[in-house]
Amino acid sequence: MTTAIALLETLADVGVDRLRGGYSRHGFDRADAELREWFTAEATARGLDVSTDRNGNLWAWWGTPGPNAVVTGSHLDSVPGGGAFDGPLGVVAALSALDALRAEGFRPTRPLAVVVFAEEEGGRFGVPCLGSRLLAGTLDADRARNLKDADGTTLAEAVRAAGLDPRWLGPEPELVSRIGCFVELHVEQGRGLADLDAPVGVASSILAHGRWRLTFHGEGNHAGATPLADRRDPMVPAASLVLAARRVAGSVPGARATVGRLVPTPGGTNVIPSTVDVWLDARAPGDADTRHLVDDVVAAAREAAEAEGCTVTVREESYGDTVIFDGGLRDELTSLLGGAPALPTGAGHDAGVLAGRVPTAMLFVRNPTGVSHAPAEHAEPDDCEAGVAALARVLTHLAGA
């Protein structure tokens, strides 16, 4: 039987980002194709029936696909320059937990499936949880088809190149209706479990969060020949936005605001940009606080743009309200796991999307660094095995007699 860590190591060379460090694995790119092949081979070798749904999510079924299924899994894509665990740990843990059930001679009384959701991070097309949102019908399919990556390739073109028909993208109520419950195991993305000295925990909630793209329009010009008084430099209000995001988030309890991506056009050292695109990631404990936070940051950005003779356009790229995971399932899991702690998270997950449709739970595995979305993200092998054992127990309980 292969351990989760040994399985994870078989992916060590896929999507390595030599420029930024860590991994860059994005929906429907070359690394993603390799990861899909890898998953299909691993699942098939375990006697599971693998299929791809209309939105590019992979499903591996133990037994006949049917209603009331117990589904586990996660995603294989990463943020740009991401760590090895965010996503893949949930997939290898699912395969490993199924190995453990098989070794015990377990016979599920409900269908069991492992799912790999497409483009969870939104690292290529900007909308996180792309596969699960399309599946659940919370993302408009026409809008999705027209999403563009940094090179101008549309999602429709990318899925076609991956062998899917982009006309198929969209809600799959029949498939969703088969999911009796969903349990996603994930590396913890903070220090909650490390501080509690616990290897495994259960998620209680996810912060409301979204992404907004602000485009500042100014006048492209020469860096040396243009007097300061004659400039309409969109980088100046873009810089104000970064500072406003930190200031405003600091005034809302529990809120976070981040600018992790900023693209000046045309992007020359000696060129005043004509436009600057800035992506704001904002999160807070509730819808109202998140909306207020974004409104205040946008107001500050507009004021700064006006002062520089620039304009700004704002587009919401994605949004998800606070998720409170199913209380019954959470309590069942915490007691099944001998009082494992329940803890909230600020990170988004496909489980958060599914939670709006079916009873959903998450298991977290301790991350001693507390760092995530960066190469320092980590989980010790023993903790990964504790996670697999916990998941195996949960699956036995849910899919057993």
- Residue 75 marked in a binding site: yes
For the chain, helix (H) and strand (E) counts, in that order, are: 13, 15
- Residue 393 marked in a binding site: no
> Contact between 385 and ligand GLV (CB under 6 A)?
no
> Contact between 347 and ligand GLV (CB under 6 A)?
yes
- Residue 145 marked in a binding site: no
Q: How far is the CB of 347 from ligand GLV (least distance, A)?
A: 4
Q: How far is the CB of 76 from ligand GLV (least distance, A)?
A: 13
Closer Cβ to Mn ion, 62 or 364, answer by number? 364
Residue type, position 123, single letter: G
Please, what is the angle between helix 88-103 and helix 30-45, to 10°? 10
Residue type, position 166, single letter: P
Number of residues assigned to the chain: 401
Determine whether 197 is exposed, middle or buried from the number of CB atoms within 10 Å of its CB (0-12, 13-18, 19+). Answer: exposed
- Asked whether the beta carbons of 72 and 58 are under 8 A apart, the reply is no
Q: How far is the CB of 228 from ligand GLV (least distance, A)?
A: 38
- Residue 121 marked in a binding site: yes
* DSSP E strand stretches across 254-385: 256-265, 271-272, 275-284, 311-320, 323-324, 342-345, 360-365
Decide: helix, strand or coil at residue 95: helix
Q: Site map for Mn ion, 60-89, x if CB under 5 A?
A: --------------------------xx--
Q: How far is the CB of 247 from ligand GLV (least distance, A)?
A: 22
Closer Cβ to ligand GLV, 121 or 184, answer by number? 121
Which residues ranging from 96 to 135 are in contact with ligand GLV (CB under 6 A)? 121, 128
Provide the 8-state DSSP code for 166: G
Q: Among Mn ion, ligand GLV, none, what binds residue 87 when CB lies within 5 to 8 Å by partner kind?
A: Mn ion
Closer Cβ to ligand GLV, 141 or 347, answer by number? 347
Closer Cβ to ligand GLV, 129 or 392, answer by number? 129
- Give which of 256, 228, 255, 235 is closest to 304, Cα–Cα: 235
- Residue 86 marked in a binding site: yes
Task: Look at strands 69-75 and 179-187 and give their pairing.
Answer: parallel
Closer Cβ to Mn ion, 345 or 396, answer by number? 345
Q: How far apart are the first and last CA of the chain?
A: 25
Q: Among Mn ion, ligand GLV, none, what binds residue 131 when CB lies within 5 to 8 Å by partner kind?
A: none
Decide: helix, strand or coil at residue 315: strand
Write out the residues near ligand GLV by the rule CB under 6 A. Answer: 121, 128, 347-348
Residues contributing to the annotated binding site for Zn(2+): 75, 86, 121, 186, 373
Write out the residues near Mn ion by the rule CB under 5 A. Answer: 86-87, 347-349
